[in-house]
Amino acid sequence: MSYLFESYHQIICGNDNPTEESFLKKETARVIRKLDKELFKAKSTKEARFYIRKTELAITNLELQIELRAKENDSKSTANILKLCSSGLDDIRFHLETAYKIYRDEDTLLSKKMIGIYATNLEMSIHRLKKLLVLNNIDPTLGKIINHSIERHFTEPEALITQRKLDYLSYFIDELINFMDSMEKIEEHHLLKFLCILNFNNVAILTYMCETHQKYTSEVEDPIQLLEYLQDIKTSLNNIPVNHNHQFNPKLLDLRTLVQQWLKEEIAKTKKSLQNTKLANPEPKLKFNHSVDTTTAFFRLLYDAGVTSSGANHTIRWIGKSISSKNQQTISLQSIQRKFFDKHTDKQPLKDLVLHLLNYLNRK
């Protein structure tokens, strides 16, 4: 595209001769006419898009050259010329945005002029959103994150924003205002869930949500209660629909998934902590004052007689976990399983145990 911006290139890269503003305006108009003529001759949408992409890339390269030249030269006259060049290039980009929007890549940066127009159009809506956040007593930190995430794209001197991001912010502001207007009172957890629906996958919002949960979980002393809380929150997020067609940051996963991933890690840590606590402080077992043979034979009798309805394997695992014998604090599952399924030819010890229980019952 050097032929299209040759004059701009010469001015930016070293022509120190005075350049009148009128000359740059004429040069900008010439470039725009040339672009219109070339695009009118385009034989297909693909060809038009490719031409615009090359043009905008050339503009971006010239803007980088302007930045470098400005750093190398502190002359006021040069600074003024570079400022005029930057303004002219912005006018050319603005023309492409307005006349050929359907051919532009949504992820291409917008002109400062276009950003300014959108900022003006959205000013009232942004002010309305701020007011609603205050009226609903939303945490000031959360409100600040939402407001800053929007305003920084329009107020910062070097604000850079793509068409895709601008479309999302317009959609986000409108939907959030409509949501807050439709409800008499908004609780913070309602707002956070709606941010998931709108896919406001902002890292600052993700951090706020995680810290909010951490603040609550730090106050929960019972690890089982903590585990239930985390699992309930994770499950509740499954029922939230997410608009995948719009997102704040296209490089990140949707906000709901990001929160669920964090919750999954917290659940895993809580389970591990709970397991370590159980290993360090095992629950006391019920001690039978009988041998392993008699103990397993007794539970086999209960199982065979239909006193218990659990399966054999479940009963065996329960014995190993909950019962100790006269001489063994810990009975291996293999030993319990083997003795449980033995024929128990010597039934006398078991009979003695049952008779002892019966005699005791009769004395009551």
**DSSP per-residue string spanning 283-340:** PPPEEPSS-HHHHHHHHHHHHHTTS--S-HHHHHHHHHHHEE-SS-SS--HHHHHHHH
Q: What pTM value is reported for the model?
A: 0.67
Note the pLDDT of residue 240: 92
Identify the sign of the CA torsion 108, 113, 114, 120.
Answer: positive
Candidates 33, 43, 40; CA nearest to 4 is: 33
Q: Among all chains, which residue has been given the structure tokens 């709606």?
A: 194
Interhelix angle for 112-135 vs 163-182, to 10°?
20
Each residue's pLDDT tens digit in the chain (364 positions)? 667 888 888 888 765 555 678 888 999 999 999 999 999 998 899 999 999 999 999 999 999 999 888 888 778 888 888 899 999 999 999 999 999 999 998 888 889 889 889 989 999 999 999 999 999 999 999 999 999 999 988 876 666 788 899 999 999 999 999 999 998 888 999 999 999 999 999 999 999 999 998 888 888 778 888 888 899 999 999 989 999 989 999 999 999 999 999 999 999 998 888 887 766 666 778 888 888 888 888 888 888 888 888 888 888 888 888 888 877 777 888 888 888 888 777 888 888 888 888 888 888 6
pLDDT of residue 109: 86
Exposure string over 17-29, b if 16+ CB within 10 A, otherwise e = eebeeeebeebbe
CA pair distance 266, 143, nearest whole angstrom? 26
Q: Which amino acid is at 328?
A: Q
Would you state the pLDDT for residue 12?
A: 84
Residue 187 to residues 139, 155, 180, 190, 214: CA-CA distances in angstroms? 10, 29, 10, 5, 19
**Residues pairing with 67 in the sheet:** none
18 Cβ contact list (under 8 Å, min separation 6): 77
Helices 223-238 and 203-217 sit at what angle, rounded to 10 degrees?
150
- pLDDT (0 to 100) of residue 158: 65
- pLDDT for 259 equals 95
d(CA 32, CA 319): 86
Q: How many CA atoms lie within 13 A of 245 on its CB side?
A: 2
